[in-house]
């Protein structure tokens, strides 16, 4: 029987941090770059927050921070990592159907999610919907198609059930974000076994 993506993350939650750092040792730099991109005193939504590897770095930049994920096991680890903070809310949510009002956040973080989705444009549309005009999208994403090494690593981890859908190369991620109605203002790549393309863009 094929494992559903949500089942996969439930089972892999305890191994997620180690696997992320193995695939790209520069991930802490990526998390810092996400935090540095945020406007001060912002209302921030993080979609697919996972175990909180980005959350723990970015949360101090925000006036209000909502961290969401579709996996209860991931959120359990995130809560343990972050503890109780007055301006932090942690909630289970579907990235493709956010139960949130239009134009309610200054920034939306979509970290290491788009390559896992059958409909990445739907997730970007939801991010755009809940962003205020001029709001910021930050979407660092593993690029499984960025060279022979990354392609080989991707094939190997795919054998474990890793639910990879899109093997981004790099600039194709930028194009996806632009096509979803954003204006890319920063795009760079962090090398690793699986490179990470960092994209920051604004909603016009």
Longest CA pairwise span in the chain (Å): 47
What the block records as the tokens of 163 is 């639910």
Where does the pLDDT of residue 10 fall: very low under 50, low under 70, confident under 90, or very high at 90 and above?
low
Of residues 6 and 65, more confidence is placed in 65
Domains parsed from the chain with CATH numbers? 5-202 (3.40.50.150)
Closest CA to 182 of 158, 203, 156, 199: 203
Query: Strand, helix or coil at 165?
Result: coil
Q: Is the pTM of this model over 0.85?
A: yes
Q: Is the pLDDT of residue 2 over 60?
A: no
Give pLDDT, residue 13. Answer: 60
Query: How far is Cα 108 from Cα 32, in angstroms, rounded to an integer?
Result: 15
């Amino acid at each position: 029987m094929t494992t559903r993506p949500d089942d996969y993350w439930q089972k892999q939650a305890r191994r997620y941090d180690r696997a992320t750092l193995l695939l790209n040792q520069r991930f802490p730099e990526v998390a810092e770059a996400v935090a540095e991109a945020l406007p001060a005193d912002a209302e921030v939504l993080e979609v697919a927050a996972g175990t909180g590897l980005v959350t723990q770095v970015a949360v101090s930049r925000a006036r209000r921070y909502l961290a969401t994920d579709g996996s209860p096991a991931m959120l359990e680890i995130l809560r343990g990592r972050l503890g109780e903070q007055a301006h932090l809310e942690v909630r289970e949510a579907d990235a493709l159907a956010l139960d949130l009002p239009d134009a309610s956040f200054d920034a939306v973080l979509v970290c290491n999610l788009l390559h896992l989705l059958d409909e990445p444009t739907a997730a970007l549309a939801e991010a755009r919907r809940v962003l205020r005009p001029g709001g910021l999208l930050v979407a660092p994403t593993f690029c499984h198609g960025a060279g022979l090494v990354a392609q080989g690593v991707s094939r190997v981890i795919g054998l474990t059930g890793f639910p990879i859908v899109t093997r981004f190369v790099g600039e194709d991620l930028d194009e996806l974000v632009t096509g979803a109605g954003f204006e890319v203002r920063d795009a760079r790549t962090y090398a690793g076994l699986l490179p990470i393309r960092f994209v920051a863009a604004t909603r016009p």
